[in-house]
Amino acid sequence: MPATITALSHYLPPNVVPNSYFSRYLDTNDEWIQSRTGIKERRIAQSGANSDLIIPAALKAIENRGIDKQEIDCVIVSTVTPDHMFPSTAAIVQHKLGIKKAWGFDISAACSGFLFALTTACKLVEGGAAKRVLLCGSDKMSSIMNFNDRGHAILFGDGAGVCIIEKSDDDSGIQDQILNIDGVGGKHLIQVSGGSFQPSSKETVEGVGHYIHQEGQPVFKAAVKGMADVSKEIMDKNNLSSDDIAWLVPHQANKRIIDATGKRMGLSEDKVMVNIDKYGNTTAGTIPICLSEWHLDGRLKKGDKIVLSSFGAGFTWGAILMEWSI
Ligand SMILES: CC(C)(COP(=O)(O)OP(=O)(O)OC[C@H]1O[C@@H](n2cnc3c(N)ncnc32)[C@H](O)[C@@H]1OP(=O)(O)O)[C@@H](O)C(=O)NCCC(=O)NCCS
């Protein structure tokens, strides 16, 4: 049987930051932000680390599954904003939850992180190396945003989505994936300092190297092509028409990228999950937060064929075909 998502939940910090927050001190405005990105507001955590976003979502996901947390035997966190360079945020989550017997690790693939981590978790379950994975896609982007850089400060937000991955009871679950990485895009979207390339120092802290560095246009162009192409590719590979797809679950980076992907797949707007207006880009969080919201309010139904699609720093991009199991 394929592996699948058997329960999920999400958490967004309560502090809502509308576009007007930025127009108070930056040369930007609500009209520009909404028309160029689709974002109206985002959530920004006022305290705590990334793991503090994950824990409430993880507890709820475990409760929704109706299992004891001790039945989790692997914890995977996908993030570019770990609590620390090391130990892994997975270890912190395992410890905070009080899970006694598990293994785990972090995955870093930026905005494609959830897709890469979901594939990894499913292969571990299908191969028998894990029985029940707690899969967390979460980022506290406010910890690396330069709030004085209008080019990216308006784009990002904080949030977490957590899924439980197990073997499916039937044929539903993960059906196919196409995943890509190409370091040619590295320089366009990068956090330069703080790693072994340029360790933290007085000079790096006084500069901007610990913040996101993003060149919007090259990332935008590559994202439109990458996400649209790979989403169409997975449809063609599996002989699916737009009528066969119940939902596109796109990474929420920019409404224009999402629209281009849906259009390329031949999907009407009512088949495309969009919540970028409320949360901005929460990096590894966007796709599991969408899945959780649409599942919890009943719009995502058992048996729905869905395509998850993403593009992010690296560059990394990909698509996953799933049949929804719950
Ligand atoms: C960042 C992004 C919204 C900018 O939109 P854009 O249409 O590409 O805009 P450009 O970068 O070409 O800039 C156009 C103008 O708007 C200005 N601008 C940039 N940010 C602005 C803001 N927040 N408010 C007002 N003006 C802004 C630019 O300075 C530029 O001005 P100029 O023409 O005087 O030089 C867009 O490039 C984007 O979404 N990129 C991808 C980001 C992404 O997905 N990142 C995550 C990884 S997937």
**33 and 137 housed in the same domain:** yes
For residues 203-229, give the mean pLDDT. 96
In angstroms, what CA-CA distances link 320 with 112, 175, 176, 302, 325?
A: 11, 8, 6, 17, 15
This prediction's pTM:
0.97
pLDDT digits (tens, 9 = 90+) for 102-157: 999 999 999 999 999 999 999 999 999 999 999 999 999 999 999 999 999 999 99
Domain boundary among 120, 140, 170: 170
- Among this protein's residues, is 281 annotated catalytic? yes
The reported pLDDT for the residue numbered 307 is 98
**202 and 125 housed in the same domain:** no
CATH number of the domain enclosing 116? 3.40.47.10
- Among this protein's residues, is 251 annotated catalytic? yes
The reported pLDDT for the residue numbered 252 is 98
The reported pLDDT for the residue numbered 180 is 98
pLDDT digits (tens, 9 = 90+) for 43-69: 999 999 999 999 999 999 999 999 999
Tokens of 234: 């997975």
5 CA distance to ligand 1 middle (Å): 36
Whether 312 lines ligand 1, by a CB cut-off of 6 Å, is yes
**pLDDT class for 284, splitting at 50, 70, 90?**
very high
Task: Give the closest residue (by CA) to ligand 1 atom 2.
Answer: 216
**290 and 161 housed in the same domain:** no
Whether 180 lines ligand 1, by a CB cut-off of 6 Å, is no
Whether 252 lines ligand 1, by a CB cut-off of 6 Å, is no
pLDDT digits (tens, 9 = 90+) for 294-305: 999 999 999 999
Task: Give the closest residue (by CA) to ligand 1 atom 29.
Answer: 151
**199 and 65 housed in the same domain:** no
**69 and 149 housed in the same domain:** yes
**7 and 154 housed in the same domain:** yes
**247 and 99 housed in the same domain:** no
**162 and 208 housed in the same domain:** no
- Among this protein's residues, is 148 annotated catalytic? no
Tokens of 186: 């590295």
Whether 316 contacts 116, CB under 8 Å: yes
**12 and 63 housed in the same domain:** yes
**pLDDT class for 211, splitting at 50, 70, 90?**
very high
Domain boundary among 153, 170, 187: 170
Closest CA to 286 of 244, 323, 257: 257
User: Percent of the chain at pLDDT above 70?
Assistant: 100
258 CA distance to ligand 1 middle (Å): 16
**206 and 288 housed in the same domain:** yes
Give the strand order in the sheet containing 316-323. 173-181, 316-323, 305-312, 247-250
User: Percent of the chain at pLDDT above 90?
Assistant: 100
Its domain, for residue 250, covers: 174-323
**235 and 115 housed in the same domain:** no
Closest CA to 174 of 127, 229, 141: 127
Query: Hey, which of 39, 217, 282, 286 would you mutate to test ligand 1's pocket, going by the most ligand atoms within 8 Å of its Cβ?
Result: 217
24 CA distance to ligand 1 middle (Å): 18
Domain boundary among 146, 170, 194: 170
**18 and 97 housed in the same domain:** yes
Whether 209 lines ligand 1, by a CB cut-off of 6 Å, is no
152 CA distance to ligand 1 middle (Å): 8
- Beta strand segments in 115-263, E: 133-140, 158-167, 173-181, 189-190, 213-214, 247-250
Helix (H) or strand (E) holding 159: strand 158-167
The reported pLDDT for the residue numbered 123 is 98
For residues 174-201, give the mean pLDDT. 97
Distance CA 326, CA 324 (A): 6
Place of tokens 């507890």: 59
The reported pLDDT for the residue numbered 89 is 98
Distance CA 44, CA 157 (A): 6
Domain tally, the chain? 2
Distance CA 160, CA 284 (A): 8
Task: Return mean pLDDT, the chain.
Answer: 98
The reported pLDDT for the residue numbered 197 is 97
